[in-house]
Amino acid sequence: MRTTVGIVGAGPAGLLLARLLHNAGIDSVVLESRDRAYVEQRQRAGILEQGTVDVLRAAGAGERMDREGLRHDGIELRFDGRRHRVDFPALTGGRSVTVYAQTEVCKDLIALQLEEGGPLLFGAEALAVEDAGTDRPRVRFRYEGREDVLDCDYVVGCDGFWGVARQAVPAGLSRVFERTYPFGWLGVLADVPPSHDELVYARHERGFALLSMRSPEVSRLYLQVPQGATAEEWEDEAIWDELERRLETRDDWRLRRGPITSKSVTPMRSHVHEPMRYGRLFLAGDAAHIVPPTGAKGLNLAVGDVVTLARALTHEKETGSAALLDAYSETCLRRVWQAERFSYDMTTLLHSDPGASPFDGRIQLARLERIAGTRAAETDLAEGYTGFPLDEAVRRHGPADGAAPAGAEGAVRAAKGRAGHPGRRRA
């Protein structure tokens, strides 16, 4: 089997990349080790930045998102019994976020790929990426009980933190930066309407809490728990009681309770692998970087990666220049590190570190007071939360002649693709 771009992993990064390449006339094959039902049901992120929403719309994957997604124009911070709303459009020139679960994004992109795109093979387990440092990389995989090889011009690892793609980067070239946090998140889904119409981030002496949602009828809620805690340790009523304590306010706000349908614990860590490219292998999404979920950046960073890569591959096809491909890792990492910084700031602002002193707690409150009382600090949070420009680094370096334009317009144009440039289909 041969293709121009072999994509390992059918999460949002791999699926969106396949869609962007299809729109640009570049053929691809997507290999996914899990079955379709698993990909469409695994619970992950639920907040889409403004740039992600724009890209999905431009790629033709925004119809159901626009119909069912929930636009949010702010978040609420709670601390010391107080409530402070951060107004995104007023602080960012009109930007907002949309609540639309990663499961739904994957469903939309899978349907488009199966209807219009190239091969998408579920149950195809990637075993290794080989010859990544040559001009003929390949993916060895197992499908329907047999081993096969996918020969490619380029391989893109969208197979997550535990995938095989990153293992193809020589150890001598890899640099890893990471931080493990001494707590995790207990996340629950509950069949009850959200208790607030926007997300609520609460700092409390007992630990962090987050009130979120998946729809007008389904709430998504989180509690900070000790590192190593398991979901089985928490009875449903104990979860509701603890949420009520940590989300309490000085007014008459009340938490709605309902049946909990699922619960799980997510560890908290920051991780960046540099470089994000080796030869003809490119890493995207969780294969290259992990952020703690406090800043709602994981899925959105993956979108930034594949928009950058799709633009670079399109530029190479149209002009013969590899300039943007050569700059891929540096371009993405500028945005990645800003997202890591923002996620770290949000995490340390709102969580109770078991090793913290009373002084540290007072510093947290002082930081929150400054956000609530200073427009500059509030604007910095709003700009970070609604999303960093998808191609800020391209704008800084200046795109090569003929490259897609920088800024939001460039990201959208890259998502739409260009007519009149057939892809290089190979048998």
Residues forming the active site? 72, 201, 293, 297, 385
What is the residue-wise DSSP string for 318-354? HH---HHHHTHHHHHHHHHHHHHHHHHHHHHHHS--T
Q: How far apart are CA 22 and CA 314, in angstroms?
A: 11
Check: CB of residue 234 under 8 Å from CB of residue 245: no
Check: CB of residue 92 under 8 Å from CB of residue 383: yes
CA 220 to chain centroid? 17
Q: How far apart are CA 89 and CA 75, in angstroms?
A: 11
Residue with tokens 């990064």: 13
Check: CB of residue 331 under 8 Å from CB of residue 308: yes
Give residues with Cβ within 8 angstroms of 211, minimum separation 6.
194, 195, 196, 199, 200, 202, 219, 221, 243, 247, 255
Tally Cβ neighbours within 10 Å of residue 289.
Answer: 29
Amino acid in position 73: D
What is the residue-wise DSSP string for 45-82? --EE-HHHHHHHHHTT--HHHHHH-EEE-EEEEEETTE
Q: How far apart are CA 92 and CA 17, in angstroms?
A: 28
Helix intervals (H) in 252-387: 298-319, 323-326, 328-350, 358-373, 375-386
Tally Cβ neighbours within 10 Å of residue 26.
Answer: 27
Check: CB of residue 281 under 8 Å from CB of residue 5: no
Starting at the edge strand found earlier in the chain, the sheet holding 47-48 runs 47-48, 97-99, 70-72
DSSP single-letter state for residue 397: H
Q: Considering only CA atoms, which of 203, 16, 188, 41 is closest in space to residue 112? A: 16
Amino acid in position 185: W
